[in-house]
């Protein structure tokens, strides 16, 4: 890059290799090698010479095509939300809320979307408003996977009904994927994946096929997976996980933008 804009970036900002190292992608020395090898882009342009300075808050950095968050003020936390916690940072009715987890961090974090109080599982806390909007809004089609314990023995016909679509009071809805994990003694475990953001959609779908939910856990959210994180615990996203989320957010900027409505509780 050359010209006035390039000169301005050279005079101000932080060295590119320092930003990459601070983001946890690689050591400063390795980051320098990545730059020289032409594996780093800034705002879509390859940077293969040392000395480039960037603004971590505004410049879009990627290594081998994987986005890097250069802004160290941004925080991304994965929470395994327990049952009984409402998805609010200050509940007006005095119930247990997400503040007991968000307050562990210096930054002012907020939740991406919601899970109802009776549902446990994966919830993201962050202070990155742009990313949160993309992840939470159903128009961007972020898939979520749940494990539901339901009453009754689910059969293959019921699985097909969920895939074909069921009629609810607010319109038809079909699951993206459904797997019957277990069915015995009047109870079943069903894995269901969908991208809808409608309120309590999983519970209502399973109720519609006569299998009321007794326990519901969200196991994945887009590229993020709960893994072995214990209930009530938090962890920060890895650089790989964050790179996947940033890629989704950056690609979404080039598509039609959604309205301001937030995702209802699942």
Q: Which residues are catalytic?
A: 116
Tokens standing for 221?
């959210």
Label the pairing between strands 119-126 and 213-221.
Answer: parallel
- Centroid of chain to Cα 19: 23
CB 85 within 8 A of CB 117: yes
How far is CA 61 from each of CA 49, 58, 207, 238, 253, rounded to the nearest angstrom? 15, 9, 46, 17, 15
Q: Which of 151, 249, 145 is nearest to 196 (CA)?
A: 145
- Report the Cα–Cα distance between both ends of the chain, in Å, rounded: 46
Residue 114, both tokens: 């919601």
């Amino acid at each position: 890059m050359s010209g006035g804009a390039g000169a301005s970036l050279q005079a101000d900002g932080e060295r590119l290799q320092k930003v990459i190292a601070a983001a946890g992608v690689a050591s400063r020395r390795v980051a320098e090698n990545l730059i020289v090898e032409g594996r780093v882009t800034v705002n879509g342009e390859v940077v293969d010479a040392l000395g480039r300075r960037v603004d971590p808050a505004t410049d879009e950095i990627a290594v081998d095509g994987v986005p890097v968050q250069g802004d160290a003020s941004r925080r991304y936390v994965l929470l395994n939300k327990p049952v009984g916690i409402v998805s609010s940072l200050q509940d007006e009715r005095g119930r247990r809320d997400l503040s007991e987890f968000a307050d562990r961090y210096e930054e002012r974090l907020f939740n991406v979307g919601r899970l109802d109080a009776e549902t446990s599982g994966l919830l993201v806390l962050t202070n990155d408003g742009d990313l949160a909007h993309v992840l939470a809004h159903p128009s961007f089609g972020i898939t979520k996977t749940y494990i539901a314990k339901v009453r009754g023995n689910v059969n293959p016909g019921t699985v097909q009904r969920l895939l074909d679509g069921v009629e609810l009071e607010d319109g038809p809805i079909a699951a993206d994927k459904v797997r019957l994990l277990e069915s015995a003694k009047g109870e079943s475990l069903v894995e269901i994946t969908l991208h809808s953001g409608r309120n309590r959609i999983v519970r209502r779908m399973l109720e519609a096929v006569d299998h009321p939910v007794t326990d519901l856990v969200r196991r994945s959210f887009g590229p993020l997976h709960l893994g072995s994180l214990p209930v009530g615990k938090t962890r920060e996203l890895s650089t790989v996980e964050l790179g996947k989320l940033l890629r989704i957010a950056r690609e979404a900027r080039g598509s039609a933008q959604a309205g301001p409505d937030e995702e209802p509780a699942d």
